[in-house]
Structure 1
């Protein structure tokens, strides 16, 4: 009889810890929820223009919009990147927690733009509950011929 009573008490304590921990996890997630919104701009002006300009746009995630300029521009191409990352456990996070630094995205001399997402960290819950909204807008000059390679993984 006493063993059964101890078993019930132990079961109640373990159940309370599991339920309390789960509720605490959820409450903490929602109180630290937020979003990160950043924008970056890059220009492409080759040192020695070719008859056909090679331009490569690679992104692990998001959408790529290619359009032609409506006003004159001194650059062969302008690349605007808009990042929005939203989710739970986002307090204190920056875009660097999810992407490689913006200084590594654009190699102007080669005409290659490469936006890479960092691998998920399994023990960080902000990776479990995130959503991305990424737009890469490439504006091209109308008087230049391009060979464009655009890829999204």
Structure 2
């Protein structure tokens, strides 16, 4: 198989897996349709409160955590786009007799642009939050990350 075909298929299936994962994760908190704004705010508040309690954050650190949550939420909204159902794009790609390669490539490029444009803000917010933590809090974060390594990820 030619290298450019392999790369195209790898990118497409990687994007499909990412979209499927996001769809699955976003549906974990509800049964039908997208999460409402109220439910999203409720889940976000619970996550922020839980992280704040586990790390014993002060007010300045809580503000940086909220900034991080805002950035992640904005990136998620941009990624999802205006579509009510993320499966719609994939259904459109495979709806004809032939696979719509141009539409699939356009979808991959669109999602890649969205990630690239929003990533610096998310990285900055994450770095600002992490750098505001003291050494003990940073160690707790590292320990939680080590503790939650499951699934297909190999252990180092």
Q: TM-score, normalised by structure 2?
A: 0.26
Greater C-alpha Rg = 1
Q: Work out which structure has the larger RCO, using CA pairs closer than 8 Å and 6 or more positions apart in sequence.
A: 1
The structure richer in helix per residue is 2
Give the structure with the larger strand fraction: 1
